[in-house]
Structure 1
Amino acid sequence: MQAIVRGLEDSGVDTQSLFRELGMEVEHLNGLDYRFDQEQVTRLWLRAEELSGDPNLGLKAAMHLRPQNLHAVGYAMSCSATVRDAWQRFVRFRHLLADSATLDLVEEADCYRLTLSIETLGLPAAASAYDLSMAGAVNLARWILDDNTVAPLSVGFSHAAPGDDSMFREFFACPVRFDQPQTEMRFTKSLLERSVPTANEELASVLDDLSAKYLGKRMEGSFAQQVRDCLITLLPKGEPSKAAVAEALQLNQRTLLRRLQSENTTYQAILDQLREEMAYGYLKRQDISLEEAAYLLGFSDVSTFSRAFRRWTGKSPGQWRSLSS
């Protein structure tokens, strides 16, 4: 939010007045543990776009984004061994940074692909929010590598093109397309395998634990936490279905999904995040085999577990265990 406010001010938006209009407290910007909800942030973007008429709001905010804006996650990114490891941390702890963002980093035959979707709970999607997320990822890579020439292979946005897209082309320094089926960026494998100059994976691992602690604290008392707790008991019995979780919580499936949506999350997001968090713990224990870990996480076999783990980290469970031992 601090980066967003600075970007809006660059475009001449009176943020003090805008916050008052939307019933938001400017003082909360300095509160480390305070979170603005997704509806507030979406309304902020939409109103700022209307007031400024500036199609580059998201890009301007991204230019102010630094690892320290992202608390423990940002510092862990700066300590990551490679750019890929940094972005995988960004994806893993995305719910610490934004409740409703769904990010995926996928390895393909000749590149990596970072995809983004944002749940706006019925409000119109703010183009600036997508612009900030994509440009912010690039800016963070440039920052931790100390290299302003870092650029994607291509960028695609699901929103319409602005009247003048010159700033987009200048910032990303690659082909930029609009009105695409989804918002995504593609990168060379060589870029994501670049070493981070300030790498310290031992410190990054400590910061990961701290981020996981913050994430768990955030969810205390939430319905999503109840679903997580239920999944923990069901996972060793095989992949749990929505129906099984709903039954355990004495709800119907529609109510389960609606209550999760009201907290800006989904059943699949909770299941994936829980499995990933538990996987790291199991793999750190030498007394648990890969087969046992797959079973405890509710996967049908090791190959299914391995595919999921590669999606999370870019490494197989065995490779990750060897590097972490």
Structure 2
Amino acid sequence: MKRADAFAIEPGWQLLLLDIGLSPQLVLKHAQLPSDLFARQQAQLSIDDCFRLWISVETLSAQLPRPLPLLIGDSLSFEMFSPPLVAAGCSPNLNVALERIAQYKRLICPMRIEIQRDEQETRLRLRCEGYDLAMPTVFVATELVFFTQLARLATRQPIVPRRLCMPALPDTLDPYTSYFGRRIERGELPELAFAASDAARPFLTENPALWDFLEPNLNQRLSELQQSASWQQKVESVLIELLPSGESNVQSVANRLALSPRTLQRHLADEGLRFQHLLNATRERLAKRYLSQSPLAPGEIAFLLGFRDSNSFLRAFKTWTGATPGEFRRLDSNRTGAI
């Protein structure tokens, strides 16, 4: 199943920022995104841009009177968001809504949702797609608030989740405990669980006619996403998985894609690419991301990129950028601090 590499920016973003007391222009400037982004028709963000936007919002919201995810929850309405989320609101119950969101979420957000159900509860776990760093805490907390608020808005009942987990907890937990009715726990993955009876509770917002209208368009968008996969995207996706194991040669990548190396190289040549060039470009992109957005030491980064030793990584990075990793990190830190 192909993940999306670009995500639509809904008009509701600008309204939402204004409603919670943030300047849309300041948020975009801090995230190093175009100042007219919210005014563009069919504007899209890359995966990295998407998380830069969330990191910017998280940073600038530090002085708000309440935690940002809770302010967003207060402002939620089905009309503010895109068709995949409206489709959730017109579902017959939370179980169906979660299945629909899991199916269409990747059209609007770099996230995969895993759902498990038994006689006691419905559980969902969230995994990021195409992003190698930890998800911003505010992003994860907002997702937990969204699913809880969806259940409450659609049923008009004060539903309390059975369990909430986050890899990194918010600095202040009490407001979240008050909102959810339960304390957030630390867990390896973001997780949310609802009692089976609450997940099956009828949605008062159910609208089969609206769903019949939305479903064909959503399925068409999924079909276009699947067909749009380039060989470059496929190889990059496999490389990101294989690099830490050191198995980043063309044979390993071809095996993962169920091709011969010659066939894979032919597909890349059709797109004007060579495997080694793509490997170097992927390593360079990831190295810059790790240096800019994580405290990882060069030796740790060398391991994640599949280099045998730190010196090999240092030489390669100097070839790519003309700077050492330390010099690049200092320059990037100075540039970010000047925003």
Q: TM-score range by the shorter chain?
A: 0.5 to 0.7
Show structure 2 runs of 5+ residues with no match: 1-8, 235-252, 266-274, 284-339
* Larger RCO (CA under 8 A, 6+ residues apart): 1
Structure 2 residue aligned with 1:121 = 131
Letter in 2 for 1:142: R
Structure 1 residue aligned with 2:312 = none
Structure 1 residue aligned with 2:259 = 247
| Closer/same/farther in 2, CA of residues 75 and 90 from structure 1, 3 Å limit | same
Retained in 1: the 8 A contact 2:91–2:206? yes
Q: Alignment identity in percent? A: 18
Using structure 1 for the length normalisation, give the TM-score. 0.63
Q: Does 1:168 align with 2:176?
A: yes
Retained in 1: the 8 A contact 2:14–2:38? no
Retained in 2: the 8 A contact 1:113–1:186? yes
SS in structure 1 of the partner of residue 154 of structure 2: helix
- Root mean square deviation, CA, Å: 3.4
SS in structure 1 of the partner of residue 175 of structure 2: helix
- 1:73-99 per-position Cα deviation (integer Å, ceiling 9, x unaligned): 23322221222111211111011120x
Retained in 2: the 8 A contact 1:79–1:201? yes
| Closer/same/farther in 2, CA of residues 226 and 181 from structure 1, 3 Å limit | closer
Letter in 1 for 2:259: E
Structure 1 residue aligned with 2:301 = none
Matches of 2:119 and 2:30, distance apart in 1: 49
Match of 1:41 among 47, 50, 74: 50
Match of 2:86 among 69, 75, 83: 75
Structure 1 residue aligned with 2:71 = 60
- Say which is worse superposed, 65-74 or 188-197, in terms of deviation: 65-74
Matches of 1:37 and 1:210, distance apart in 2: 22
| Closer/same/farther in 2, CA of residues 49 and 198 from structure 1, 3 Å limit | closer
Matches of 1:244 and 1:42, distance apart in 2: 28
SS in structure 1 of the partner of residue 220 of structure 2: helix
Retained in 2: the 8 A contact 1:76–1:205? no
Letter in 2 for 1:34: A
Matches of 2:78 and 2:17, distance apart in 1: 19
Letter in 2 for 1:251: L
Instruction: State how 1:127-206 maps to structure 2 within 5 Å.
Output: 127-145=137-155, 147=156, 149-162=158-171, 164-177=172-185, 179-206=186-213
Using structure 2 for the length normalisation, give the TM-score. 0.60
Q: Note the C-alpha offset of 1:130.
A: 0.3
Q: Note the C-alpha offset of 1:6.
A: 5.3
Retained in 2: the 8 A contact 1:3–1:62? no
SS in structure 2 of the partner of residue 251 of structure 1: helix
Matches of 1:32 and 1:63, distance apart in 2: 27
Which of structure 1's runs of 4+ aligned residues deviate more than 6 A? 224-227
Match of 1:94 among 78, 85, 105: 105
| Closer/same/farther in 2, CA of residues 246 and 159 from structure 1, 3 Å limit | same
SS in structure 2 of the partner of residue 36 of structure 1: strand
Letter in 2 for 1:43: R
- 1:7-50 per-position Cα deviation (integer Å, ceiling 9, x unaligned): 65566543312312433235433556322222122122223333
Retained in 2: the 8 A contact 1:7–1:60? no
- 1:174-202 per-position Cα deviation (integer Å, ceiling 9, x unaligned): 2321x312211111111111112232335
SS in structure 2 of the partner of residue 198 of structure 1: coil
